């Protein structure tokens, strides 16, 4: 910018006056400081004259004695309005600047041409200009400003300043504008007495120093800097407006208990907000009215739960994803405007309805007006199914209690203590809620795990009494009839129950009980007014959940727990459908294999043929011909192999004899033919081999069939069944080769079975290892495909359950206290810890029984009476 330099010779009376005042003032050492004291903070009772005033008027007057009209600590968003009192002598543009001035050195000439607003100076009864606007003058040196002690309003924005040291000589400075400079140090000058307004935006501040000397700050604008941490403002008791937008802040901290009314921190990198607790956190800002946190990474609205005066919350473009967060805002009765645009939560179907229903005082949502019509139209479809089921279960329990002799225990109402605090992790199967619960209980001594009873079998890694109390059906029935259970529910064919005795853990140890159950058990506890804090626990992504399920249930299945899958309602439905469709056919394996488990549906045994075998250590595998298979420990499922029908193929059998068919060189087990060299089937197969399809002979290689299967072996068309096709294919030579190769790069679903198979000792034909390998691969592949088919049904069922729970959560806000993602363990544990803290804080601790003798009123009354009859002195004297 080039300006012509021209010397100003015009004198100005007012200006001279001003300098005279300055000269006088500079002679007086410390003209005001001795009289100005930092006033004590008084609550604003609304009686103050101006809106920004924060002192009681009498204090104000006392403090400002001698300050005349200056009203030093008054704050107004629009100070020195131009139309009022503005006396500007010159137009700065008419001033011709010299070289020095052009190089950014401030001169008195420049000041004289920019100063305005004549006001009376305190104490001296002189007048002085108090407003100086020097914006966009390319200034680098402002030393000349030092002499102008009475400046109250200073605008130095759009310059090239790197320091503000000279401002230390302006004790009356109240309004400071230094935006768009090159300042790296925030307020690096001696603090004026009443600096109230600072605009420090668009500079290069990286670190906030301790601003305790600038105690009088009311408005601090620090947007567009490079600040990484909020600090140094803890003692700014009058700070009402703080703008930290467009910085590099990650955590909202050190703002607790400030009297902020506006907090703007948009476009930072905030993912954490100091949590409430011990008087810290955003909830301690009791006067806060506006918060803007747009463009950050905040994932919850719970931080604002305690900001009771909040009117506007702008939190667009963050990571809020849960509808429970909306529920957290329900107590903010002053909340008029909420902006949650561009958050994942907005994609949820009930988001808007939830806001309309939960936030009754809202006038504006995401920039749109909230009308009565919108509120009325908001959809609400509560899912009553779950509640109904829980009610029915609860009713059943009550009936049982009535019909049998109930157990009278400490829990029976009316009882001495309130229900113990309970946190309950509810989620679909395979969601690893158990793992989270264990870890949580381990890390938090205030939490204790509640153990449920179950009729399901124990897994290898589970401990009786720690994971569950494993009981049989009879024991479970016994406990149920004797009123031991608070909840009972069935999940995939097994029964689960929470006993009253578990409550004792919480009451005697004074801890919070943590259970992991399904939702119906949780609802039953709710129906009993146990007030559990129900937390929905599930992996965030469906894919992860599916993987976990596969991993868990394939292993369980191989070990012992297939019945879980077999009894999955969807599977039972499917089996029944197959049963119906094959009615009348000759297929029946009821005679071949019968389960000793009474829980299993008979339907699932009906189609047991195709492949079966006994794998050492793994139990007895049976692959059904139609998308269904069973597997389990030998004692539970299936008869001894030697009881199996002739021709069953035996992969490994340590108990029964392994024979070898001389024709096909494959081992088989056949009780009736164990001593013969050739089984009946082989004879039969030879016949087939000689006559028609060669592959039928191959079939015998991999799989031998029981009698009943002959019926579908006879016609070619039977192979058109996709599953049979698989079996058919799996034994063709080329396919065998293919399978062998592909199995080498087997994917994860192969592994569990492969590992079991590889451990198995095979006594088939040791001389023909290639064939042996082929058998494995064939069986594995076939098994795997069938397994996948079957698992698919199970997985679909669980995924349905997952979906239902999520919908329920969306529709019934508040039902779940929180949602935790079990694949984000740290976050899940943190959330649970918060709930634990909340639960402990809000739990009504049982009070001791009322003791009349300790009651002060009673004592006083007795004393009075004793005194009246002259006995008190005697009592006291006796005591002495």
Ligand X SMILES: Nc1ncnc2c1ncn2[C@@H]1O[C@H](COP(=O)(O)OP(=O)(O)OP(=O)(O)O)[C@@H](O)[C@H]1O
Stretch 434-463 residues interacting with ligand X (CB under 6 A): 434, 452
324 binds ligand X (CB under 6 A): no
Contact 393, 372 (CB under 8 A): no
295 binds ligand X (CB under 6 A): no
Mark the segment that binds ligand X (CB under 6 A) among 21-29, 278-286, 423-431, 770-778.
423-431
Q: Least separation, in Å, of the C-beta of 674 and ligand X?
A: 40
Residue of 149, 432, 624, 729 that binds ligand X (CB under 6 A)? 432
Interface with ligand X, residue 289, by CB under 6 A = no
Structure-token pair, residue 815: 């039902």
Closest to ligand X by CB, 512 or 664: 512
Interaction of residue 431 with ligand X, rule CB under 6 A: yes
Q: Alpha-carbon distance 38 to 56, whole Å?
A: 13
Sign (positive/negative) of CA torsion 289, 46, 333, 335? negative
In terms of Cα–Cα distance, which of 186, 168, 181, 201 is closest to 231? 186
Select the residue interacting with ligand X from 132, 498, 652, 785 (CB under 6 A). Answer: 498
Give the nearer residue to ligand X in terms of CB position, either 216 or 556. Answer: 556
Query: Measured from the CB atom, is 216 or 452 closer to ligand X?
Result: 452
In the complex, least distance from residue 431 CB atom to ligand X, rounded to whole angstroms: 4
DSSP string, 61-123: HHHTTT-GGG-TT---SS-S-TTTT------GGGPBP-HHHHTTB--HHHHHTTEEEEEEPTT
Asked whether position 469 contacts ligand X by CB under 6 A, the answer is no
Neighbours of 282 (CB within 10 A): 24
Q: Which two structure tokens, joined as six digits, stand for 448?
A: 């204790």
Binding span for ligand X by CB under 6 A among 147-155, 489-497, 641-649, 842-850: 489-497
Q: Is 710 exposed, middle or buried (0-12, 13-18, 19+ CB in 10 A)?
A: middle
Question: Which are the contacts of 520, defined by CB distance < 8 A and separation ≥ 6?
Answer: 386, 389, 390, 393, 487, 489
Q: Is 839 in the site for ligand X (CB under 6 A)?
A: no
* CB of residue 195 to ligand X, shortest distance in Å: 59
How far apart are the two ends of the chain, measured CA to CA in Å?
Answer: 97
Q: How far is the CB of 806 from ligand X (least distance, A)?
A: 15
828 binds ligand X (CB under 6 A): no
Q: Binding to ligand X by residue 532, rule CB under 6 A? A: no
**Quick one: 599 exposed, middle or buried, by C-beta within 10 A (0-12, 13-18, 19+)?**
middle
Q: To the nearest whole angstrom, how small is the minimum distance from the Cβ of residue 179 to ligand X?
A: 56
Residue from 642, 685, 840, 658 nearest 760 by CA: 658
Check: CB of residue 661 under 8 Å from CB of residue 764: no
Rule CB under 6 A: say whether 496 interacts with ligand X.
Answer: yes
Of the pair 306, 430, the CB lying nearest ligand X is at: 430
Output the smallest distance, CB 451 to ligand X, in A. Answer: 9
Q: Which of 166, 419, 429, 539 binds ligand X (CB under 6 A)?
A: 429
489 near ligand X, rule: CB under 6 A: yes
CA pair distance 590, 30, nearest whole angstrom: 108
What whole-number distance in Å separates Cα of residue 824 and Cα of residue 799? 19
CB atoms within 10 A of CB 755: 13
**Is residue 534 within the footprint of ligand X (CB under 6 A)?**
no
Report the distance separating Cα 828 and Cα 385, nearest Å. 28
With contacts defined by CB under 6 A, name the span among 322-330, 389-397, 432-440, 738-746 that binds ligand X. Answer: 432-440
Cα dihedral sign, 751-753-759-764: negative
One character per residue 371-410, x = contact with ligand X (rule: CB under 6 A): ----------------------------------------
- C-alpha atoms less than 13 angstroms from C-alpha of 645 in its C-beta half-sphere: 21
629 makes contact with ligand X (CB under 6 A): no
Segment interacting with ligand X, rule: CB under 6 A, options 57-65, 484-492, 592-600, 714-722: 484-492
- Please list, in sequence order, all residues whose beta carbon lies within 8 angstroms of the beta carbon of residue 124, skipping any fewer than 6 positions away: 21, 24, 25, 31
Q: Which is nearer to ligand X, 263 or 521 (CB)?
A: 521
Minimum distance from residue 452 beta carbon to ligand X (Å): 3
**Helix, strand or coil for residue 619?**
strand
* Identified binder of ligand X from the candidate list 491, 625, 765, 839, rule CB under 6 A: 491
Question: Does residue 433 belong to the site contacting ligand X (CB under 6 A)?
Answer: yes
Q: Choose the binding region for ligand X from 143-151, 226-234, 416-424, 486-494 (rule: CB under 6 A).
A: 486-494
Answer yes or no whether residue 60 interacts with ligand X by CB under 6 A. no
Kindly indicate which of the ranges 7-15, 430-438, 771-779, 781-789 contains the residues binding ligand X, using the contact rule CB under 6 A: 430-438
Tell me the number of residues near ligand X by CB under 6 A.
16
Asked if 752 is part of the footprint of ligand X (rule: CB under 6 A), the reply reads no
* Cβ closest to ligand X, residue 549 vs residue 611: 549
Stretch that binds ligand X, among 205-213, 353-361, 372-380, 491-499 (CB under 6 A): 491-499
Mask of contacts with ligand X, 511-530, x by CB under 6 A? ------xx--x---------
Stretch that binds ligand X, among 114-122, 169-177, 424-432, 671-679 (CB under 6 A): 424-432
330 binds ligand X (CB under 6 A): no
C-alpha span between 860 and 568 (Å, rounded): 70
Whether the CB-CB separation of 121 and 25 falls below 8 Å is answered with yes
In this structure, what DSSP letter does residue 743 have? Answer: H
In the complex, the smallest distance separating the C-beta of residue 449 from ligand X, rounded to whole angstroms, is 12
Q: Which residues contact 267 (CB under 8 A, 6 or more apart)?
A: 245, 246, 294, 295, 296
Q: Report the residue number, 294 or 489, with the smaller CB distance to ligand X.
A: 489
Distance, in Å, from the CA atom of 245 to the CA atom of 225, rounded to the nearest integer, reads 8
Measured from the CB of residue 815, what is the shortest distance to ligand X in angstroms? 16
* Helix, coil or strand: residue 227: coil
Q: Which residues contribute to the site for ligand X (CB under 6 A)?
A: 427, 429-434, 452, 487, 489, 491, 496, 498, 517-518, 521
């Amino acid at each position: 910018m080039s300006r012509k330099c021209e010397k100003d010779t015009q004198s100005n009376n007012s200006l001279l006056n001003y300098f005279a005042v300055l000269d006088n003032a500079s002679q007086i050492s410390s003209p005001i400081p001795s009289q100005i004291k930092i006033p004590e903070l008084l609550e604003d009772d609304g009686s103050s004259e101006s809106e920004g005033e924060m002192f009681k008027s009498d204090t104000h007057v006392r403090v400002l004695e001698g300050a005349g009209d200056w009203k030093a600590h008054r704050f107004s968003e629009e100070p020195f309005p131009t139309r009022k009192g503005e006396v500007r002598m010159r137009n700065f543009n008419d001033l011709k600047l010299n070289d020095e001035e052009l190089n950014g050195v401030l001169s008195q000439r420049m000041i004289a041409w920019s100063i305005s607003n004549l006001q009376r100076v305190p104490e001296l009864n002189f007048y002085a200009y108090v407003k100086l606007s020097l914006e966009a003058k390319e200034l680098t040196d402002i030393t000349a400003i030092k002499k102008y002690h009475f400046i109250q309003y200073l605008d130095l924005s759009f310059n090239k300043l790197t320091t503000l040291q000279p401002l230390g000589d302006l004790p009356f400075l109240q309004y400071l504008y230094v935006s768009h400079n090159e300042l790296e140090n925030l307020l690096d000058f001696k603090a004026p007495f009443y600096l109230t307004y600072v605009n420090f935006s668009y500079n290069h501040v990286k670190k906030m120093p301790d601003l305790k000397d600038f105690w009088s700050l009311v408005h601090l604008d620090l947007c567009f800097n490079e600040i990484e941490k909020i600090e140094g403002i803890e003692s700014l008791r009058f700070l009402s407006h703080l703008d930290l937008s467009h910085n590099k802040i990650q955590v909202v901290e050190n703002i607790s208990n400030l009297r902020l009314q506006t907090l703007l921190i948009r476009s930072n990198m905030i993912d954490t907000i100091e949590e409430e607790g011990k008087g810290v956190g955003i909830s301690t800002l009791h006067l806060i009215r506006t918060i803007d946190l747009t463009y950050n990474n905040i994932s919850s609205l719970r931080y604002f739960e305690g900001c009771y005066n909040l009117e506007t919350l702008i939190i667009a473009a963050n990571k809020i994803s849960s509808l429970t967060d909306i529920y957290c805002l329900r107590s903010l009765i002053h909340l008029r405007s909420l902006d949650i645009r561009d958050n994942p939560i907005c994609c949820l179907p009930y988001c808007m309805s939830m806001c309309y229903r939960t936030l009754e005082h809202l006038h504006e949502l995401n920039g749109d007006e909230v009308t009565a019509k919108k509120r009325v139209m908001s959809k609400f479809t509560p899912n009553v199914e779950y509640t109904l089921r829980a009610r029915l279960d609860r009713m059943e329990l009550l009936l049982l209690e009535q019909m049998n002799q109930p157990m009278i225990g400490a829990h029976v109402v009316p009882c001495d203590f309130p229900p113990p605090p309970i946190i309950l992790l509810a989620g679909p199967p395979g969601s690893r809620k158990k793992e989270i619960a264990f870890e949580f209980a381990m890390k938090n001594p205030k939490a204790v795990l509640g153990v449920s009873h179950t009729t399901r079998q124990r897994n290898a890694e589970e401990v009786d009494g720690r994971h569950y109390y494993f009981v049989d059906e009879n024991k479970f029935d016994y406990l149920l009839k004797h009123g031991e259970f608070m909840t009972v529910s069935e999940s995939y064919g097994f029964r689960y129950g929470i006993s009253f005795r578990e409550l004792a853990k919480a009451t005697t140890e004074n801890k919070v009980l943590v259970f992991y159950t399904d939702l119906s058990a949780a609802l039953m506890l709710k129906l009993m007014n146990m007030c559990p804090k129900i937390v929905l626990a599930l992996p965030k992504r469906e894919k992860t959940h599916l993987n976990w399920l596969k991993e868990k249930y394939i292993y369980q299945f191989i070990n012992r727990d297939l019945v879980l899958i077999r009894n999955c309602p969807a599977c039972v439905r499917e089996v029944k459908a197959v049963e119906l469709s094959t009615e009348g056919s000759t297929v029946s394996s009821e005679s071949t294999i019968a389960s000793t488990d009474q829980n299993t549906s008979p339907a699932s045994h009906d189609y047991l043929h195709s492949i079966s075998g006994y794998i050492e250590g793994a139990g007895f595998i049976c692959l059904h011909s139609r998308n269904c298979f069973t597997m389990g420990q030998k004692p539970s499922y299936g008869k001894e192999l030697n009881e199996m029908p002739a021709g069953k193929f035996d992969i490994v059998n340590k108990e029964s004899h392994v024979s070898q068919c001389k024709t096909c060189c494959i081992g088989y087990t056949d009780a009736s033919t164990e001593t013969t060299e050739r089984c009946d089937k082989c004879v039969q197969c030879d016949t087939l081999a000689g006559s028609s399809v060669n592959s039928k002979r191959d079939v015998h290689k991999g799989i031998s069939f029981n009698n009943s299967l002959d019926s579908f072996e006879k016609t070619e068309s039977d192979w058109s069944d996709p599953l049979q096709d698989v079996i058919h294919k799996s034994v063709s030579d080329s396919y065998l080769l293919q399978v062998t190769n592909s199995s080498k790069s087997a994917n994860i679903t192969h592994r569990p079975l492969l590992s079991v198979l590889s451990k198995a000792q095979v006594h088939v034909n040791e001389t023909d290892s290639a064939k042996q390998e082929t058998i494995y691969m064939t069986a594995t592949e076939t098994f795997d495909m069938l397994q996948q088919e079957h698992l698919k049904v199970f997985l679909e069922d669980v995924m349905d359950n997952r979906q239902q729970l999520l919908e329920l959560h969306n529709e019934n806000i508040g039902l779940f206290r929180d949602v935790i993602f079990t694949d984000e363990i740290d976050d899940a544990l943190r959330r649970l810890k918060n709930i634990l803290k909340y639960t402990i804080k809000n739990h009504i601790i049982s009070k001791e029984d009322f003791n009349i003798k300790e009651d002060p009123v009673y004592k006083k009354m007795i004393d009075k009476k004793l005194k009246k009859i002259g006995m008190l002195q005697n009592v006291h004297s006796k005591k002495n």
